[in-house]
């Protein structure tokens, strides 16, 4: 029941805020209600840890022989860290929002809680069918929130494109599920067949890449930092936990092959380009899509390498370290050091939350590992550069706000330390790469950071051109043209069907479809 209670607390809190807004439009304590709900859910998610594993069948659609696959929720050592990360991100967002509360509306906080609730539903999904349904529900809720909040036509069109892109990803996941059922008669992740792996990885890649569109939907800077952070990182997290679960299935059904090696290399190239875009971004919000894409690419790579522990470690660390820097809108002398401490979370140093990621560099090694090695260096360099930027608060901030704001940032750091104690590997089982890779990358990053501070080494012209390419602004006119041609095609068919010969056209199409089906079954 704790799983239902955890999700219900967030959903009910968001619903209460909506009702209060409708009944009492002048109600001024929405932030307190939202923070209270997020705090209670954060406590409950820690209680869930002591009852693991938990399996809960939500829907029973009939006899087991007829409907062997149902919607189930599973809380275990894979899903719990990501649930903790989502709840921490929601609470940290609300605590840090006090410094920009006068520029935010109640809908941002209610939307953050709603996204977190549906995100937890996706995180706890226990089979492919549950993931498909939860992903679709997440996309629908996200689309409704965007359409309700956005007023600019361009942003609303991008929200529709985002939903369409994610729908394509869910479609590929559905195809992979159909193949898995055809091979094993089951939607269980542990029995995923080799033929389904390609579609599943492709579905995950499309959904993670959709952050390139989502990051630019919200044009208001304050809203982008608040709800935008929860939405972008939440949509990535539901893919991270899925990839962590699929990692064990990849190891069971598939060994290294030329095709797998090619995919591993292509993903490494994507991670390197994304990391470079993150490094060259003018600030952390401008490069948020590149950071998430870089982190997500490495999670996909660890999944392909069948390293479930590395997927959990890196996905969890990327979620919290990313949330830390995206939420730090004010960096005084003290809070700037808090942001810089988030660098340890993704440093792969021993006894940090990302230490398990060293398994990506375990034997057998190949030339493509160099792409990931340099991607880590660029990600850390970019993080250090953005976190060290000074951002002063507006004058006249009340003392209690100055006290609460850093608490939200410190909370994220403490949760990362908690993860280390819960998931510390056996020291005797750590490969030599686990003691070398992290310190080596950190040493190179330290040298690069001091070298970078000596002066600007890359021209702003080159930086602007690369950022323009990575932002996908050039792709939006192409998508808009495709939608325009599709609308014309649908309008043409509508006119044909409404004409005098419309009925004959319908009959002809039906006959053709029946003929194709008969020929297919006959063969």
Distance in angstroms (rounded) separating the CA atoms of residues 383 and 466: 18
Distance in angstroms (rounded) separating the CA atoms of residues 188 and 405: 43
Q: Where are the alpha helices (DSSP H) in 328-398?
A: 333-345, 369-387
Instruction: List pLDDT tens digits, range 466-508.
Output: 555 555 555 546 555 655 665 565 555 555 545 555 555 556 6
Instruction: List pLDDT tens digits, range 338-370.
Output: 888 888 888 888 888 888 888 888 877 788 889
Contact 176, 187 (CB under 8 A): no
Distance in angstroms (rounded) separating the CA atoms of residues 264 and 24: 55
Output phi, psi for 115, to 5 deg: -65, -40
> What's the burial of 2, exposed, middle or buried (CB within 10 Å: 0-12/13-18/19+)?
middle
Distance in angstroms (rounded) separating the CA atoms of residues 88 and 234: 11
Contact 354, 346 (CB under 8 A): yes
Q: 460 or 24, which is more confident?
A: 24
Name the β-bridge partners of 87.
none
* Segment holding 263, helix H or strand E: helix 258-280
User: Buried b / exposed e across 250-286, counting CB within 10 Å, b at 16+?
Assistant: beebbeeeeebeebbbebbebbbbbbbbbbbbeebbb
Q: 432 or 91, which is more confident?
A: 91
Q: Where are the domains of the chain?
A: 258-287+294-391+426-458, 479-522
Instruction: List pLDDT tens digits, range 103-139.
Output: 778 888 899 999 999 999 999 988 777 888 888 889 8
Residue 364: asked if its preceding bond is cis (omega within 30°), the reply is yes
Question: Which of 72, 75, 5 is closest to 40 using CA atoms?
Answer: 5
Contact 146, 111 (CB under 8 A): no
Give whichever of 17-26, 228-237, 260-269 has the largest mean pLDDT: 228-237
Q: Where are the alpha helices (DSSP H) in 284-332?
A: 288-304, 308-327
Output phi, psi for 104, to 5 deg: -115, 155
Other Cβ atoms closer than 10 A to 4: 11
Question: Which of 419, 413, 420, 381 is closest to 96 using CA atoms?
Answer: 413
Token look-up 């003018």 returns 282
Q: 58 or 457, which is more confident?
A: 58
Instruction: List pLDDT tens digits, range 133-155.
Output: 888 889 888 888 888 887 777 77
Distance between start and end Cα atoms, the chain: 51
Name the β-bridge partners of 206.
none
Distance in angstroms (rounded) separating the CA atoms of residues 91 and 233: 14
Give me the numbers of helices (H) and strands (E) for the chain, helices first please.
Answer: 20, 2
**Does the CA dihedral 337-340-345-349 come out positive or negative?**
negative
Contact 390, 336 (CB under 8 A): yes
Given a cut of 80, whether residue 431 has pLDDT beyond it is no
DSSP state of 127: S
Contact 83, 120 (CB under 8 A): yes
Other Cβ atoms closer than 10 A to 36: 14
Given a cut of 60, whether residue 251 has pLDDT beyond it is no
Residue 209 structure tokens: 């890449």
Question: Which of 242, 385, 397 is closest to 308 using CA atoms?
Answer: 242
Instruction: List pLDDT tens digits, range 7-19.
Output: 999 999 999 988 9
The mean pLDDT value for 67-78 works out to 74
Question: Mean pLDDT for the chain?
Answer: 79
Distance in angstroms (rounded) separating the CA atoms of residues 444 and 295: 19
Distance in angstroms (rounded) separating the CA atoms of residues 92 and 433: 34
Q: Is 350 helix (H, G, I), strand (E, B) or coil?
A: coil
Token look-up 């360099």 returns 381
Question: Which of 441, 464, 458, 465 is closest to 383 using CA atoms?
Answer: 441
Distance in angstroms (rounded) separating the CA atoms of residues 284 and 271: 17
Question: Which of 233, 229, 230, 376 is closest to 301 using CA atoms?
Answer: 376
Contacts of 490 (CB under 8 A, 6+ apart): none
Question: Worst-scoring range by mean pLDDT, 58-62, 78-82, 312-316, 461-465?
Answer: 461-465
**Does the CA dihedral 348-353-355-356 come out positive or negative?**
negative
């Amino acid at each position: 029941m704790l799983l239902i209670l955890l999700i219900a607390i967030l959903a009910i809190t968001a619903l209460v805020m909506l009702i209060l807004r409708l009944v009492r439009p002048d109600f001024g304590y929405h932030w307190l209600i939202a923070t209270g709900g997020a705090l209670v859910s954060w406590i409950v998610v820690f209680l869930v840890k002591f009852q693991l594993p938990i399996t809960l069948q939500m829907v029973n659609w009939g006899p087991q022989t007829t409907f062997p696959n149902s919607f189930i929720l599973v809380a275990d050592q894979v899903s719990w860290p990501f649930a903790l990360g989502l709840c921490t991100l929601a609470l940290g967002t609300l605590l840090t929002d006090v410094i920009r509360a006068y520029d935010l509306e109640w809908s941002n906080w209610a939307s953050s809680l709603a996204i977190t609730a549906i995100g937890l539903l996706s995180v706890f999904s226990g089979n492919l069918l549950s993931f498909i349904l939860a992903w679709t529900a997440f996309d629908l809720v996200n689309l409704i929130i965007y359409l309700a909040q956005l007023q600019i036509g361009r942003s609303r069109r991008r929200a529709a494109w985002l939903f369409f892109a994610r729908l394509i990803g869910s479609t590929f996941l559905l195809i992979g599920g159909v193949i898995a059922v055809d091979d094993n008669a089951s939607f269980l992740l542990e029995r995923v067949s080799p033929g389904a792996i390609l579609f599943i990885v492709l579905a995950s890649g499309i959904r993670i890449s959709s952050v390139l569109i989502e990051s630019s939907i919200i044009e208001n800077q304050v809203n982008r930092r608040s709800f935008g952070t929860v939405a972008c990182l939440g949509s990535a997290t539901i893919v991270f936990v899925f990839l962590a679960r699929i990692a064990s299935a990849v190891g069971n059904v598939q060994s290294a092959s030329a095709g797998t090696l090619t995919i591993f290399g292509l993903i490494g190239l994507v991670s390197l380009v994304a990391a470079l875009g993150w490094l060259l971004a003018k600030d952390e919000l401008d490069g948020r899509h590149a950071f998430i894409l870089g982190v997500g690419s490495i999670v996909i790579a660890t999944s392909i390498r069948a390293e479930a522990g590395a997927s959990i470690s890196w996905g969890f660390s990327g979620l919290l370290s990313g949330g830390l820097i995206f939420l730090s809108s004010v960096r005084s002398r003290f809070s700037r050091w808090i942001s810089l401490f988030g660098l340890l979370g993704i440093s792969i140093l021993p006894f940090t939350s990302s230490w398990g990621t060293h398994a990506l560099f375990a034997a057998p090694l190949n030339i493509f590992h160099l792409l990931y090695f340099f991607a880590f260096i660029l990600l850390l360099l970019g993080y250090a550069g953005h976190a060290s930027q000074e951002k002063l608060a507006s004058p006249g901030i009340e003392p209690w706000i100055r006290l609460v704001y850093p608490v939200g940032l410190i909370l994220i750091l403490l949760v990362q330390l908690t993860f280390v104690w819960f998931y510390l590997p056996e020291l005797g089982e750590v490969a030599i790469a686990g003691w070398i890779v992290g310190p080596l990358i950190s040493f190179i990053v330290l040298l690069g950071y001091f070298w970078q501070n000596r002066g600007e080494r890359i021209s702003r012209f080159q930086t602007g051109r690369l950022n323009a390419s990575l932002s996908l602004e050039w792709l939006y006119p192409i998508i808009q043209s495709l939608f325009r041609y599709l609308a014309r095609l649908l309008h043409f068919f509508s006119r044909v069907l409404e004409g005098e010969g419309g009925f004959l056209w319908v009959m002809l199409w039906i006959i053709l479809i029946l003929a194709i089906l008969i020929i297919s079954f006959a063969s």
